[in-house]
Structure 1
Amino acid sequence: MRQRLVHAILVALVASAGLVVTTPAFSAAAPVRIMPLGDSITGGPGCWRALLWDRLQRTGFTNIDFVGTLPGGGCSVAHDGDNEGHGGFQATGIANQNQLPPWLAATRPDIVLMHLGTNDIWGNIPAATILAAYSKLVDQMRAGNPSMKIVVAKIIPMAPSGCTWCPPGVAALNNAIPGWAAGKTTAQSPITVVDQFTGFDPVADTTGDGVHPDDSGFQKMSDRWYPALTPLLGGTTPPTDTTAPTTPAGLTVTVTCALTMTLNWTASTDNVGVTGYDVYRSTSGGPFTSAATTTTTTFTEPFNGPYRYQIRARDAAGNTSAFTAPITPVPPPCPSSPPPQDTQPPTTPGTPTASITCGSVTLNWTASTDNVGVTGYEIWRAPGTSGGTFASVGTSATTSFTQSGAGTFRYQIRARDAAGNISAATGPVTVVVPACPGTGTCAAVYSQGSSWSGGFQGQVTVTNTGAAATTGWTVILTFASGQRITQIWGGRTNSTASPYTITNESYNGALAPNASTTFGFLVSWNGSNSPPTVTCTRTP
């Protein structure tokens, strides 16, 4: 691509000077440009793209170029990471705001792989409205490339907590996609439908939120894209694979005195390739049910009793091996007299003092003491000067804590030690945090969830602290240490780096006085996960 660009510039310069140049011949055909288009399931980290790229390379489809204005990363398999997977975006939003044409102009794809609509379903948008957006996007693709090849997915299942309308919404959209595609396809620009729904388990194949795929989910998505894409690359549709993998051998189980159980087995073989293993469990002599999937030959979980386990292998075509013989874990002989437990709680921290600025409060307190050692402090908050319920809003390893958000609150501090003993709470301290000029009567409070090597999960609670209902809200998140948001739910952003401007979804912008809503996100980090600063504005 760079060679052609440089050559074009030289041609233009020489032509302007009135000279004649000869265009060099390029010996190799231009690579087929493939755009993965979607939301966070495609872009953050969207490792189905890595698995698909790797399989295409290994099976001879090397003259390809994944394209997009966003970079990839975060997957264990090396790949061409360019993509258009925009976390939190809706198909209807991309269509209504005409966001696709500049992406197409910048990348010039020949083929588009589109998995889009999850955030629309979350926003309770009807299937007909989503399909109308699909049609506009297809028209925009064909306007830039009349021979565009388009592969559209029936989206994977959704089972997020609290979204009762999500499963029927996904079913309605997926059931309508084939008929829509049949009416929209053309000989010059065909539309291929890929079923990403069937066989995808929203519990076993997601990260635990019922929406975003884990390793087994990404593998299943890659396996569905591959046979639909290869004919468009000049290959043939792979023959139907009906050969099941061999049964896993040598299943063993160990249980530690810490009551952790680990299964190990020898890898199965397959005529094409084993893609993973299904772990089944039986409790109290009942039937075996699915417990987990794994791409390795080991599985670990807490020992919860004399359960029985079986393992089977599966391949990319969905063929499964026979089950192993059941195995029952048995704990080893362990010391009968465990060491004495620490049951002494830390002393109560000193009553906190507050330093207040507009939109923020910093609490400081005197350290607790403990017979073994204090490991941290819990910060609890209640609304107003009286009444309400105290709820945890954060932790601190030091004797200081800062929180953003305007309003009147009461804070208490508790100390904890390594054994989980908790001190008594301090007396409450009441703080009145004024809003910064221009922020209106809207409070946003950040809290951190789980963390891991390279990232962590955060959540922001948005509260309407005004006397009238809102029609929308905007939160600005500013990270101090180079963190980048990789996925977001419950809000949307067009920002690609800090500070991030987050706006409400269609279903959580209207807040009655004192009503709250939340949005969450996954963040990558560079050696520090210090909390961001948070500001909030509201739409009257």
Structure 2
Amino acid sequence: MPGPTADGAAPAPGRRVSARRVRRRLLSGAVVALLAGAVSVLPAADRPEEIDVPAVAAPGTLRVMPLGASSTVGVGSTATAGYRLPLWERLTAEGVRVDYVGSRSTGPDALPDADHEGRSGWSAARMVPMVGGWVLAADPDVVLLHAGTNDLLGGASAQATAANLDRVLDRIFVAAPRTHVIMAGVWAPLPKQRAQRAELTRRLPQVAQEHRAAGHSVEFVDVGDLFPAARTADGLHAAPQAYRAIAGMWAERIGAWLERPPDRRRASG
């Protein structure tokens, strides 16, 4: 089955990313950021009380922040930490040196780097006052954002959930203006919230577009048909095979972003 689209554009299959290209582009971005001398200061409310995240990665390493709720933790496939182990394996096989970042660290022994920012049960609304501090501490190159499911499950409308995700993006880009965000839609089936789920999928590309117009690097990926409902572990969380499909989606979008010329990265999507 073809990979999901990002704002309607299908990723090219089989793309591989060289470690040399990752090093060159990440180091180039770091130099630009240093020359710009931009330092973002967040309100105290955006700073979590305790964060223990390494501040420096090896040269040429891609700092990836898995950000979300229980699917980011890996509920439904603890043996693979959800999508995080298969994504690590995929990117490493393609020559990308990965450093997962975040203030949480959970996962199986097979996962070399278990850091993430997954908070089981959290809605996007709950993340808003905290996410800026998490991102500021972790300093990611790429954020893999999957949130909104718990907003819909809690009775929030698609409009309110889209607004919550818009505010999450605001906080991310205040904390890390040069990061790239890949924002996935809701992949859980949510049969009781089917209409709101579809409406959220319709609204989020516009949220991403408005941020791009403001100079932010963000893309939306429609994952509504990424895997069938039968491939869930409990009707809500992905089963191992579905998490592998999710990992493939993230890997394709990361690869597509890394392949863009540096001067076109700001117009992602």
Normalising by structure 1, report the TM-score: 0.35
The yes-or-no answer on 1:48 pairing with 2:88 is no
**TM alignment of 1:196-215, pairs within 5 A:** 196-203=223-230, 205-207=231-233, 209-215=234-240
1:79 deviates by 3.7
> What RMSD over aligned residues (CA atoms) do the two structures have, in Å?
2.2
1:195 deviates by 2.4
Q: Which amino acid aligns with 1:216?
A: Q
Q: Work out which of the residue numbers 43, 61, 65 in structure 2 matches 1:31.
A: 61
The yes-or-no answer on 1:69 pairing with 2:110 is no
1:235 deviates by 7.0
Deviation sequence 1:420-463 (CA, Å, 0-9, x none): xxxxxxxxxxxxxxxxxxxxxxxxxxxxxxxxxxxxxxxxxxxx
Largest Rg, 1 or 2: 1
Deviation sequence 1:311-336 (CA, Å, 0-9, x none): xxxxxxxxxxxxxxxxxxxxxxxxxx
Residue 131 of structure 2 corresponds to 100
Q: Which amino acid aligns with 1:136?
A: R
1:158 deviates by 2.3
1:212 deviates by 0.7
Larger relative contact order, structure 1 or 2 (CA cutoff 8 Å, min sep 6):
2
1:78 deviates by 2.8
Aligned residues of 1:90 and 1:120 also touching (Cα < 8 A): yes
Residue 148 of structure 1 corresponds to 179
- Secondary structure of residue in 2 paired with 1:51: helix
Distance, in Å, in 1 between the alignment partners of 2:133 and 2:174 is 12
Distance, in Å, in 2 between the alignment partners of 1:74 and 1:167 is 33
Distance, in Å, in 2 between the alignment partners of 1:91 and 1:78 is 27
Aligned residues of 2:131 and 2:168 also touching (Cα < 8 A): yes
- Secondary structure of residue in 1 paired with 2:105: coil
Distance, in Å, in 1 between the alignment partners of 2:188 and 2:111 is 27
Deviation sequence 1:53-105 (CA, Å, 0-9, x none): 1100001112x311011112148x5342111110000001111xx01122123
Q: Which runs of 5+ in 2 are unaligned?
A: 1-55, 262-269
- Secondary structure of residue in 1 paired with 2:144: strand
Aligned residues of 1:48 and 1:222 also touching (Cα < 8 A): yes
Q: Work out which of the residue numbers 74, 77, 81 in structure 1 matches 2:114.
A: 81
The yes-or-no answer on 1:228 pairing with 2:228 is no
Q: Work out which of the residue numbers 134, 137, 142 in structure 1 matches 2:165.
A: 134
| Alignment CA distance shift 1:32-1:43 (3 Å) | same
Distance, in Å, in 1 between the alignment partners of 2:91 and 2:260 is 11
1:30 deviates by 4.9
Distance, in Å, in 2 between the alignment partners of 1:225 and 1:30 is 19
Residue 533 of structure 1 corresponds to none
Distance, in Å, in 1 between the alignment partners of 2:213 and 2:143 is 15
Aligned residues of 2:178 and 2:216 also touching (Cα < 8 A): yes
**TM alignment of 1:254-403, pairs within 5 A:** none
Which structure features the higher share of helix residues?
A: 2
Residue 311 of structure 1 corresponds to none
Distance, in Å, in 1 between the alignment partners of 2:212 and 2:196 is 24
1:122 deviates by 0.6
Aligned residues of 1:131 and 1:180 also touching (Cα < 8 A): yes
Aligned residues of 2:136 and 2:176 also touching (Cα < 8 A): no
Residue 200 of structure 2 corresponds to 173
Percent of aligned pairs with the same amino acid: 28
**Aligned pairs, how many?**
200
Residue 155 of structure 2 corresponds to 124
Q: Work out which of the residue numbers 69, 89, 92 in structure 2 matches 1:57.
A: 92
Q: Which runs of 5+ in 1 are unaligned?
A: 1-25, 237-540
Distance, in Å, in 1 between the alignment partners of 2:213 and 2:256 is 16
Distance, in Å, in 1 between the alignment partners of 2:251 and 2:147 is 18
- Secondary structure of residue in 1 paired with 2:220: strand
1:165 deviates by 3.0
Distance, in Å, in 2 between the alignment partners of 1:51 and 1:87 is 20
Q: Which amino acid aligns with 1:210?
A: G
Q: Which amino acid aligns with 1:226?
A: A
| Alignment CA distance shift 1:186-1:229 (3 Å) | farther
Distance, in Å, in 2 between the alignment partners of 1:187 and 1:55 is 32
| Alignment CA distance shift 1:94-1:199 (3 Å) | closer
Aligned residues of 1:117 and 1:155 also touching (Cα < 8 A): yes
Q: Which amino acid aligns with 1:228?
A: R
